[in-house]
Structures are given as C-alpha cells and as structure tokens.
Amino acid sequence: MSNMVELPIAKAITAGLREAMRKDDKVLMFGEDVAQLGGVFRVTEGLLDEFGKNRIFDSPIAESGIIGTAIGLAMRGYRPVAEIQFDGFIFPAFDQITSQLARLQNRSEGFTKMPVVIRVPYGGGIGAVEHHSESPEAYFAHTPGLRVISPSTPNDAYWMIQQAIESTDPVLFFEPKRRYWQKGMVNLDEAPGGMHQARVVVPGNDVTLVAYGPMMNVALEAAALGAEEGKSIEVIDIRSMSPIDFATIVDSVKKTGRLVVAHEASTFVSISSEIAARVAELAFYHLEAPPIRVGGFDVPYPAAKLEEKFLPDADRILDAIDRVLAF
C-alpha cells in the first residue's frame, strides 16, 4: 500500500518544496515575505525553521531583481525557486524572464543551464483588489525557452513542484490561488506522470472539455451537471500550458468530434486559441462542430463585484457544450 496523506493544495506545494530542499542543498527559495511570514499564502511556512536563512530568505521588493539574481544564482550552480507574490506583480520581471531566463541556454549553445522555478499564485475568484487576480500564463507560454505548468490537485501540486525543480529548464509554476485550501489525497510514493502530461479526468464520448488550474473544478462541475442531462463529457486537465500534450487532446477529439476549452484568462491570443487551432490542424476531419473557447472577457480583470460575471462558471461552459452539440 502506498503512503497517502490528505493535504490542501497550498500545503502539498509546501511538502513538495520541503522534499526538493532536502534532496538537493542547491535548492534555494526567495521572494517577498517568504521566510519569516511563510509567504502571504503560507506556502513556504516552516521552511525557514527547517532549512535556515541561507536556504530561504526574503528579498527586497523588486521583482526584476528577484528573477535577475535567480539567473545569476543558477549560473553559479544553484537551483533557485523564486516566488512572485501575486500574478499581477510578475511584470516588473518580464524582461528578465522573457529576454534573459528563457534564452540563456540558447545563446550559450547549451553551456548555460537555467534550472529556475518561478512560483506564481494566479487567477481570480478571491474578491481581491486590482492586480491580484490575473491569469498571465499565455505571455509566458508564448515565449520559447520557458516551460509553463499548473497543478489542479494536491497530488499534482506535490509532484509537479518537485518535477519543476528537477527540470534543467526554467519553469513557470502557476498556483491556482483560489484552490489553495482545497484538500485531496497525496500519494507520497509515486508521481502521477510527467509534468507535461495531460490527464483524462473524466472519460466521456460526446464532447471533449479541456481546462487547467483553477478552472478544473468548474469543468468537473459542468461535466457532472451535463451527465445529469445525459451528456457524456470527457474532461481533460492539460496540467501543462507549454508544452501542451496535444496527443491526449487529439485522441479525445477523434472520439468525441467536439471541443470546448475553458480557462480564466481572456480568450484573445490565449492557451485556448492555441488548442483550438492545433486541433483544427490535427483533427479537422474528425470535428463535428467548430471548437469553442470559454474564458474571461477581453477586458482588464474587473473589480471584485463583477468578477463572478467575468469568470467562466459551469453554466457558461454548459452553454458552450450545448452549442457544440447542437451544431
């Protein structure tokens, strides 16, 4: 019997970080308020006590500095895990991430490796003030040289953070902040697969519903409601937004002939745009209906009192499912 524990997503990440720090003393952690406070979401709680201030420390409030120095530390043989406190505050580091971190391996023709992990709590649904609910994953997925992943369960959180730290490439690790306290079983013995592997969470025959991160709960709710109405919806958690496991998606679409993709991010030039386009290229003759994307509207993330109308809910996903089925 394998070793199972029940943990919320936040604490599963903590456990994964702890494992990674124990295994490799080159793993360092830093960011704003991560040490003494344990991060504003307490994801790094307890690590200071166990590993001391040479392994985990608070940085000055300067995101470009956080990522720029992570790059230098990686050059020096460390494996930095940097926390960006909220999604909306990653942009001061955009240059360091996209022009430097993403390209150093390429520019050095492989001499320089960049095993840097950037942890980013992301997404909305927590009633926050501006700049605390963004879904910026597409900017990074668009940038060659970066790997972009997001867990949706505690088990994935525990394993994927460790896989990210083991990766020799830079990884953007997007944490679904509104799901931090969602509990689930974590298998401490066996990883659920590679960090870029998509997973069929619910099998079905009529429609393929693709989602990731915080949108998985909503997708599963939609599938359950659809099942009550006799619709057989196959739900896929892609887990990785770059690269995307198209084989799993295409196999499913070949079976169902219909595709709906959902995420919180605005849909214009988004992860769902890419999935819809690739499926059209790879499975055109299997499609019974045009793919539909369900996402946030193409407006700045709205004030909290409007976020419920901005974020896709199960009804909006079901509406899309009805449309692909009715086509």
Ligand X SMILES: Cc1ncc(C[n+]2csc(CCOP(=O)(O)OP(=O)(O)O)c2C)c(N)n1
Task: Please give the residue ranges that form the binding site for another protein (CB under 8 A).
Answer: 32-33, 36-38, 40, 58, 60-65, 88-89, 91-92, 127-132, 268, 297-300, 302-307, 309-310, 315-316, 319
Decide if 197 contacts 176 (C-beta within 8 A). no
For ligand X, the binding residue among 57, 78, 89, 297 (CB under 6 A) is 89
Q: Binds 36, which of ligand X, another protein, none (CB < 5 to 8 A, cut-off by type)?
A: another protein
Q: Which stretch binds ligand X (CB under 6 A): 85-93, 101-109, 147-155, 251-259?
A: 85-93
- The nearest distance, CB 38 to another protein, in angstroms, is 8
Nearest approach, Cβ of residue 13 and ligand X (Å): 19
Query: Is 263 one of the catalytic residues?
Result: no
Between CA 157 and CA 8 the distance in angstroms is 9
Measured between alpha carbons, how far is 270 from 135 in angstroms, rounded to an integer? 10
Query: How many residues does the structure list for the chain?
Result: 327
Q: What number of other Cβ atoms are within 10 A of residue 71's Cβ?
A: 20
212/198 Cα distance (integer angstroms): 9
Q: Judged by CB under 6 A, does residue 92 bind ligand X? A: yes
Minimum CB separation of residue 67 from ligand X in Å reads: 12
The 54-83 site mask, x for binding ligand X (CB under 6 A), equals -------x-x--------------------
Question: Which of these, 198, 179, 201, 209, lies nearest to 317 by C-alpha position?
Answer: 209
75 binds, among another protein, ligand X, none (CB under 5 to 8 A by kind): none
Residue 112 CA to residue 321 CA, distance in Å, equals 46
The pair of three-digit structure tokens given for residue 269, joined into one six-digit string: 């030039």
Backbone φ and ψ of 283, nearest 5°: -140, 30
In the complex, the smallest distance separating the C-beta of residue 305 from ligand X, rounded to whole angstroms, is 21
Catalytic residue (choose from 131, 132, 142, 196): 132
Between CA 196 and CA 141 the distance in angstroms is: 13
Span 131-170, contacts to ligand X by CB under 6 A: none
Q: Which residues pair with 80 in a beta bridge?
A: 28
Active site residues: 132
**Chain positions contacting ligand X, by CB under 6 A:** 32, 61, 63, 85, 89, 92
